Amino acid sequence: MIVRDDHAGSGTAQLAVIDEYVSAVAHALGQLSRRQVSDVVDALFTCWQHAGCIYVVGNGGSAATASHMMNDLIRGTWLEGMRSIRAIALTDNVPLMTAISNDTQYDRIFSDLLEALLQPDDVVVAISTSGNSPNVLRAVAVAQRRKARVIALCGNEASPLWTQADIAVTVPADLVGQQEDGHMVVNHAVAIALRRRIELERE
């Protein structure tokens, strides 16, 4: 079936919107600190060396990124004969999250889980474009109290999350969607670099 564009004007406008969005993502990625991303790889590699676990948290689109990150940290770094990365997205157990929020409050859906699970050699990856999510900040507080490292994927350098994290990667874009796009790129870059780092241990 051939679809005709009978609204050339609106089509041109749409292309302009798409180009503006994609160009902004490309610009933000160009400004992304490679050193910050490298620091994340270092921290996760150290966690792997000590058989620690990586816990990932976030809300909304950042919850989807957390799930994706767990997938890539485990499967994207897998190597035959090498110990696997241990990673858990705390966003994935909906029954437990609803139980905690129903029994107490939504702000505790991640922190209560970390109270039960977190060990000093573990890492918490906190993802929040605003950097102000109460449940994410509460999880960070537990991590700090347990002496676990905190990695933040942010969109705002002036946010509480950026300030409180041990390592913070900021995607300097104006729109939340663009920041989330950047976080996914960071996730993939980290997984690839981490796999190579682990592979070198075998050589």
- Helix (H/G/I), strand (E/B), else coil: 104: coil
Q: Which two tokens stand for residue 11?
A: 């089509």
| Structure confidence by residue, pLDDT tens digits, 111-146 | 999 999 999 999 999 999 999 999 999 999 999 999
Count other C-beta atoms under 10 Å from residue 121's C-beta: 16
DSSP state of 173: -
Q: Are strands 123-128 and 53-58 parallel, antiparallel or unpaired?
A: parallel
What single-letter amino acid sits at 101? S
Burial zone of 20 (CB within 10 Å; 0-12 exposed, 13-18 middle, 19+ buried)? exposed
Q: How far apart are CA 131 and CA 157, in angstroms?
A: 8
| Structure confidence by residue, pLDDT tens digits, 9-67 | 568 999 999 999 999 999 999 999 999 999 999 999 999 999 999 999 999 999 999 99
pLDDT mean over 147-168: 94
Q: How far apart are CA 27 and CA 156, in angstroms?
A: 16
Q: Are strands 86-89 and 149-154 parallel, antiparallel or unpaired?
A: unpaired
Residues 90 and 110 sit within 8 Å (Cβ to Cβ): yes
The domains of the chain are located at 8-202
Q: Tell which residue, 100, 99, 79, has the closest CA to residue 194.
A: 79
Residues 125 and 85 sit within 8 Å (Cβ to Cβ): no
Residue 171's pLDDT is 96
Q: Per this entry, what is the length of the chain?
A: 203
Query: How far does the chain reach from its first CA to its final CA, in angstroms?
Result: 55
Residue 157's pLDDT is 84
Task: Calculate what percentage of the chain has a pLDDT beyond 90.
Answer: 91
Q: Please, which pLDDT band fits residue 158 given cuts at 50, 70 and 90?
A: confident
Q: Is the pLDDT of residue 86 over 60?
A: yes
What single-letter amino acid sits at 93? N
CATH topology of domain 8-202: Rossmann fold (3.40.50)
Whether the model pTM is above 0.85: yes
